[in-house]
Amino acid sequence: MATTPTFERRSVLQLAGAAALGTFAAPAIVRAQSEAIRIGHLTPLTGFLGPLGEYAQMGVQLAVDEINESGGVMDRPVELIMEDSVNPQTASTKAQRLTERDGVACIVGEISSASGLAIAEVAGRNRTIFINTGCNSDALRGSSCNRYMFHIEAANSMYVKSAGRALLRDGLVKDKRWFSLTADYAFGHDLLKVAKRFMSQHGGEFAADELVATDVNDFSPYILKIRQERPDLVISNLAGNQITNFIKQYKEYELPFPIAGFGFDTVLAWGAGADAMQGTWPCVWYHTIETPSSKAFTEAFTQRWNKPPDNQAWGDYNATKILAQAMEDTGSTSSDDLVEHLQKGAEFDVMKDRPGRFRDWDHQMVMEMYTMTPKAPAEMADRWDLMRIGEAVPAPDEDLDILAPTLEENACTFA
């Protein structure tokens, strides 16, 4: 995979610096810094989630540049303050600094569910709206829900139900035995719980499930267990570059058991490459989706960064645009005003055939999802055209809510 540009750990984009950035169209907005609207962005740039965080930064930078090019928000420029969240403790400290010292109007970002919870707790105490762009844990929308936290990233239940439909269609659930590998932290534990619930509802069982530490790079001991167990399907509940490493090593063993995943990011498929990539995977967005807004975003991103956007860039870009639109619609940067507006069913173009909206009771965005399978190398237009995207789910005649956690599955009560 091509290397990604290295960013400063703390970067403030100001419209006054447009000439240096060389990206803003004239005439530029000129405002005193005190009049700018500040957006804080937190995401991991190191560790097993680092490759995703770099795309998140590219997505949010592009969004802010485009907002300022078009006149800012309420005729005010937007400043972006970006930080490496590193881990939950660091994420909490930096979220506190963003809200109390830097005076951000909102926070966007994060990928780690544990760090997302830490940020949400700070956002709740300081009454600052936070849009989660990469944390999947159902618990963040349930037992740990927060009035000031919204989710453009899909919940684990949405990923499981999307991929599960494809597995049901292919006869890989009822009376089948699954062997799962699960990332040993909050996201993975939650995903395994949701996956087991899905299996129990559809007549299958788990042959085994193995917890995998997030710093594991050698999957050969687990692959040997899979060979011994001989399951009908191998399930990945892994995260970050764990998925890339597992797919590459699984290919080397040439085992006959098909694989699928309940969590996925397209950067990880690109990292695995056409020779190793296999299986059925869920996705929230892919750069080959043919809607006008999707094509425009992909073109702008590719022109800026010399590569197409992934789903994480999609999340951070759209979250920033949604906040800007909500501020314009309400004429306010007050988090309470924005929360009230987003809870009322406002719809947003999220680059799919149907608009997305946030539910009022858990703040999860409900929207179309997809599944993906790898293309044959001869079918690929370029190295990024690796996956074939399936039809959107839910179907056009189905309610968007059917993929998301139900109240019975994941009750949320805002304090």
**pLDDT per position as a tens digit, 90-117:** 999 999 999 999 999 999 999 999 999 9
Rg (CA), the chain: 21
Classified by CATH at the fold level, domain 157-283+369-403 comes out as Rossmann fold (3.40.50)
Same fold, 11-154+289-366 and 157-283+369-403: yes
Measure Cα distances from 194 to 165, 171, 364 in Å. Answer: 14, 20, 16
Helix (H) or strand (E) holding 221: helix 220-229
Cβ neighbours of residue 353 under 8 Å, at least 6 residues apart?
A: 291, 368, 392, 396
Tell me how far apart the alpha carbons of residues 389 and 87 are, in angstroms, rounded to a whole number: 33
98, 92, 99, 147: which is closest to 116 by C-alpha? 92
Domain assignments of the chain as residue spans, ordered by start: 11-154+289-366, 157-283+369-403
**pLDDT per position as a tens digit, 123-172:** 999 999 999 999 999 999 999 999 999 999 999 999 999 999 999 999 99
Helix (H) or strand (E) holding 78: strand 78-84
pLDDT of residue 415: 73
CA neighbours closer than 13 Å in the CB half-sphere of residue 134: 36
Q: What is the pTM of this model?
A: 0.90
CA neighbours closer than 13 Å in the CB half-sphere of residue 387: 29
pLDDT of residue 72: 97
Q: Is 108 helix (H, G, I), strand (E, B) or coil?
A: strand
Q: Is 413 helix (H, G, I), strand (E, B) or coil?
A: coil
Residue type, 75: D
pLDDT of residue 177: 97
pLDDT of residue 26: 32
Strand 177-183 relative to strand 205-212: parallel, antiparallel, unpaired?
Answer: parallel
Residues of the chain with pLDDT under 50: 1-34
Q: Provide the CATH number for the domain formed by 11-154+289-366 in this structure.
A: 3.40.50.2300
To 5 degrees, how large is the angle CA 288–CA 290–CA 292?
A: 125
Tell me how far apart the alpha carbons of residues 208 and 81 are, in angstroms, rounded to a whole number: 44
